[in-house]
């Protein structure tokens, strides 16, 4: 029994290690428009985080809305209505579901 369990644990840790973090994924896909603290061509992460947290009071609600919205951004359900008017609607970014979830969790937890 023991012999079978060990390789599973090893495999599990290797796959955890290999998965890119939400922050890395954010740097790769989102940072061109979203800075951490400055508003450039889009609201900063800090602003998005604060505005989302004032609407969604749990991490689950925050993340699930963000993932759903990012799959298909639409003006009418956007939380930052003023930003849609100011910058126009964000384009859809081609990122898989797992990565979107990791990015949304990073948006909630914030950068250190
Ligand atoms: C081409 C520029 C661009 C890129 C790339 C981009 N965004 Fe945006 N994003 C915007 C703009 C502009 C807004 C503000 C208008 C709006 O809300 O649609 C926005 C708004 C948002 C919002 C708030 C939506 C709301 O409810 O109002 C979130 C969350 C967000 N972006 C996350 C991301 C994430 C995560 C990525 C990377 C996967 C990303 N963005 C990539 C331009 C971009």
Nearest to 97 by CA among 57, 64, 74, 60: 64
18 alpha carbon to ligand 1 midpoint, in Å? Answer: 26
Spacing, Cα 41 to ligand 1 middle (Å): 10
C-alpha to C-alpha distance for 83 and 41, rounded to whole angstroms? 10
pLDDT the model gives residue 6? 60
- Which atom of ligand 1 is closest in space to residue 80's alpha carbon? 27
Indicate which residue's Cα is closest to atom 31 of ligand 1. Answer: 90
Are 79 and 88 in contact by the 8 Å Cβ rule? The answer is: no
91 lines ligand 1 (CB under 6 A): yes
Q: What is the pLDDT along the chain (112 residues), one digit of tens a residue?
A: 666 666 656 555 555 566 789 999 999 999 999 999 999 899 999 999 999 999 999 999 999 999 999 999 999 999 999 999 999 999 999 999 999 999 999 999 985 4
Q: What is the CATH number of domain 21-109?
A: 1.10.760.10
Give me the residue spans of the domains in the chain. 21-109
This prediction's pTM: 0.87
The per-residue pLDDT for 19 is 76
């Amino acid at each position: 029994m023991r012999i079978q369990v060990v390789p599973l644990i090893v495999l599990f840790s290797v796959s955890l290690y290999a998965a890119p973090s939400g922050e890395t994924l954010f740097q790769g896909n989102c940072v061109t428009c979203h800075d951490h603290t400055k508003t450039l061509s889009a609201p900063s992460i800090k602003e998005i985080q604060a505005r989302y947290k004032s609407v969604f009071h749990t991490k689950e609600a925050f993340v699930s809305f963000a993932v759903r919205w990012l799959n298909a951004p639409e003006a009418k359900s956007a939380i930052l209505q003023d930003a849609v008017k100011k910058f126009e609607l964000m384009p859809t970014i081609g990122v898989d579901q797992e990565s979107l979830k990791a990015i949304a969790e990073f948006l909630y937890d914030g950068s250190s």
